[in-house]
Amino acid sequence: MTLHPTGIALAALATFVSGFLWFGPKTFFPVWWKAMGHSAPLDPKTFNMGKVFGGTLVGVVAQAFVCDVILTGIRAGQPSLSIGQGAAWGFHLGLVAAAASLGHRLFAGHGFTAWMLEVGNDVLNFTLMGAILVAVG
pLDDT digits (tens, 9 = 90+) for 30-59: 999 999 988 888 777 788 889 988 999 999
Say if residue 7's pLDDT is above 90: yes
Using CA of residue 118, residue 119, residue 124, residue 126, what is the dihedral sign?
Answer: positive
Return d(Cα 71, Cα 3) in angstroms, integer: 9
28 assigned to some structural domain: yes
Residue 79 lies in a domain: yes
Predicted pLDDT of residue 6 = 97
Q: Give the total number of structural domains in the chain.
A: 1
First vs last C-alpha separation in the chain: 12
Q: Look at residue 107 and tell me if it is in a domain.
A: yes
Runs of H (alpha helix) within the chain? 5-22, 29-35, 49-77, 83-107, 111-136
Q: Is residue 20 part of a domain?
A: yes
Q: What does the DSSP 8-state code read for residue 46?
A: G
What is the domain extent for residue 105? 5-41+51-136
Q: What is the pTM of this model?
A: 0.91
State pLDDT tens for residues 54-76.
999 999 999 999 999 999 999 99
